[in-house]
Amino acid sequence: MHLKLRNILAVLAVLTAITCQPVAAERPTAPNLLPYNTVVYLRVDDFPSLGDDFQRTSLGRIRNDVAVAPLVDRLYNEFINAFPQIEDELGVSVEDLLELPTGEVAISLAVTDTGRPMFAFIADVGENVGTATTLLERAEFEHINNAGDLSQELIGDTEVTLFANPGDDDDVYSFIKEETVVLCSSELMATHLISVWEGTATDADRTLADNRKFTDIMRNSTGADDYQPQISFFADPLTLIKSTTQDNFQAQAAIALLPTLGVDGFKAVGGSIIVAPPGFDTMAHFHLSLGSPRRGVLNLLTFGEGDMTPEEWVSNDVMNYNTIYWDLEQSYAELTKVVDSILGAGYFENMVEENINTPAEISLQDDVIAHFGGRLTMIQQVVDAEKLNGNSMGIGIKLKDADKFAEFCDEFLAEKAPFITKQSHNGVTYYQPPQGGPRPVPPNVNPQNPNFQNSAQPQPQVQTAQQNFQRNFRIPSPTFAIVGDTLILADSDLIVFSAIDTMQGQGDRLSDADDFKLIADAVKSQTGETQPSALSFNRPEQALKFIYDLALGEQAQSALQRGAENNDFLRTLNSAFQDHPLPPFEEISKYMAPAGGVLFNRPTGLHYLSFSMNPENQ
């Protein structure tokens, strides 16, 4: 009985000793490890998880489609087999390299008080420590063979390998700690990382997580439901430039102008990418951090806010739609102030007067800019699916008084540009410059002297080149018109005709489309009642179909087959497509969903949210 009791007490003592042992803390994440003065930063939260999340996106689903996967696998295997020398040179295979990261991966650049940049790379490798060790050992071998110095030193409790180059400051410090590989370019950086990691850092050893510029941007770069980003990035270019040009007189002189220009109000830029959050395919945040109040060139960003519903002239046939509230009249006034503050009072107006107003006999500010109503809309539409430049761009500028601006256009064009023709479509006037483009040259005509007939010396090369150009490229037909209260300019008359027809109710409008309403609802769910300054709407399916049709067209396939005769890469690509042809586009389009974006003009800066929907939620 006493023996049994002693055994129980012994077990309890062992358990107590085990539980009382200090638990090894997980290493700090990159923001809590990198130094405060980090000026460039890119982080992947979990590399394998990012790959898993990608499989749930539209591209991931397309890649795994039974009709597409064999082609992708074939191309991947061809890529792997194309680099057999990698294993000989590095000691590990391409597959081992691709599978090396098992968690967080971060790359950064920081600056010291003396302006010296410090690089750092951090990667969790987990059970792949052996692969990482092999790579470092191979690097050590090559470094010594190239007359480099190799040494080990102890920083804190961590053994660090120093790759030094005699007579050169490009040293590299490397170490593996807790299944994490670290490379950095200075002893100062290595000491900081290790001291923070091991808990011996002082209050002076602040980290990036203490940097207000960084935290403000990261706080603005999560979703409405606090979706944590898989990828985050940050940059403080002004601090980087100021620090690394301390000994450059010309650069410092240029930097001294920044306050005058107001550029010193630019703080930092950054954001995040969230892959496959609930209800979405992808989501990305981009934040431009600006000081308040804004001065100088930053005052040119005179963005307003308002209703983002597409105007009545925007057809449902558009592939992309972007609209922004921008007070161009105020921007013009701010530009005048900025230029005059540098070059002297009245300089900007004198320059405009001399180069624009006097030659054209107009007032750029009063006759043109003053008519703009504060909203710009840009659309993109396919007008010729068989041409490489078959996408046409249109710009709509809202006018304060359309009739008055039309009178100005008629008077100005009649006097200064009589070559621009005035025509009508469904009762709406539109304007076009003379249409032109390359024309075929008869084979018996010398292109240098069209009047000289030379049947003995035809010009088949010129003819073939011009015919190929006309066959592959659309000849633009620049056109503009005032449709309703909007000035529309486009590189194709078909865009203007479509706008006129849609305005008159002869076609479906984008504002009534279900996919646009889906994007508008998604914007509201993410931003609440806050009015944005700009909105974008995209139909990736149309963009992909345009590329898909071109890639599978007779011309592209013929060019690929001809190129495969003398090019190994094209030969492999052609063989893969022959063995595993792409399926009909309808099999691909089911994975596509509309995308959108929204811009906010906040006191702290500009914030842009871009996202694409999950096709399952359509």
The pLDDT value recorded for residue 223 is 65
Q: Is the pLDDT of residue 52 over 60?
A: yes
For residue 14, give Cα distances in angstroms to 2, 9, 20, 23.
18, 9, 10, 16
Listed in order, strand segments (DSSP E) in 539-616 are 595-602, 605-613
Q: Is the dihedral of CA 356, 362, 366, 372 positive or negative?
A: negative
Whether the pLDDT of residue 41 is over 70: the answer is yes
Q: How far apart are CA 338 and CA 295, in angstroms?
A: 9
pLDDT in tens, 472-488: 788 899 999 999 999 99
Whether the pLDDT of residue 24 is over 60: the answer is: no
pLDDT (mean) for 63-88: 82
User: Could you tell me the two tokens for 462?
Assistant: 């010129």
The answer to whether the CB of 112 falls within 8 A of the CB of 37 is: yes
Residues 410-465: pLDDT tens digits? 999 888 888 999 999 999 999 999 875 444 334 443 434 444 344 444 445 555 55
Rounded-to-integer distance, Cα 499 and Cα 23, Å? 68
Please state, in angstroms and rounded to a whole number, the distance separating the CA atoms of residues 244 and 37: 13
- Residue 245's contacts (CB-CB under 8 Å, 6 or more residues apart) are 115, 251, 252, 255
pLDDT at position 441 is 39
Taking a C-beta distance cutoff of 8 angstroms, is the pair 285, 616 a contact?
A: no
Q: Would you state the pLDDT for residue 207?
A: 96
Instruction: State the pLDDT at residue 226.
Output: 65
Q: Which residues pair with 481 in a beta bridge?
A: 430, 488
The pTM of the full predicted model, rounded to 2 decimals, is 0.84
- Tell me the percentage of the chain whose pLDDT exceeds 90: 49
Q: Write the DSSP assignment of 132-152 as a string of letters.
A: HHHHHHHHHHHHHHTT-EEEE
Structural contact between residues 326 and 535, judged by C-beta atoms closer than 8 angstroms: no
**Which range is most confident: 148-152, 188-192, 265-269, 566-570?**
188-192
Indicate the pLDDT class of residue 387, thresholds 50, 70 and 90. Answer: confident
Supply the pLDDT for residue 470: 64
Mean pLDDT of the chain: 85
Site of tokens 């085990």: 18
Q: Give me the helices (H) in 269-346, please.
A: 328-343
Q: In this predicted model, which residue has the larger pLDDT, 323 or 452?
A: 323
Neighbour tally for 593: CB within 10 Å: 22
The percentage of the chain sitting over the pLDDT mark of 70, rounded to a whole number, equals: 89
pLDDT for 399 equals: 96
Tokens coding 191:
């000491």
Q: Which residues of 203-225 are buried (b: 16+ CB within 10 A; e: fewer)?
A: eeeebbbebebbebbbebbbbee
Asked if 532 and 600 count as a contact pair (C-beta separation under 8 A), the reply is yes
For residues 141 and 89, the answer to whether their CB atoms sit within 8 Å is no
Residues in Cβ contact with 180 at an 8 Å cutoff, skipping those fewer than 6 apart: 27, 122, 123, 124, 125
pLDDT at 531: 82
pLDDT recorded at residue 160: 94
Respond yes or no on whether the N-terminal peptide bond of residue 293 is cis (omega within 30° of 0). yes
Give me the mean pLDDT over the 379-401 stretch. Answer: 90
pLDDT score recorded for residue 530:
74
pLDDT of 378 > 60? The answer is yes
Q: Taking CA 350 as the corner, what is the angle to CA 346 and CA 353, rounded to the nearest 5 degrees?
A: 140
Alpha carbon 267 to its chain centroid, in Å, reads: 20
Q: What is the average per-residue pLDDT within 248-267?
A: 80
Residue carrying structure tokens 């030094």 = 164
Q: Across residues 77-93, what is the average pLDDT?
A: 77
How many residues are listed for the chain in this entry? 618
pLDDT surpasses 70 at 6: no
The pLDDT confidence band at residue 14, using thresholds 50, 70 and 90, is: very low
Query: What are the CA-CA distances from residue 158 to residues 179, 203, 396, 430 (Å)?
Result: 13, 21, 63, 75
- The tens digit of pLDDT for each residue in 144-198 reads 888 888 899 999 999 999 999 876 777 899 999 999 999 999 999 999 999 999 9
Residue 618 pLDDT: 55
Structure token pair of residue 228: 């944590």
Check: CB of residue 365 under 8 Å from CB of residue 304: no
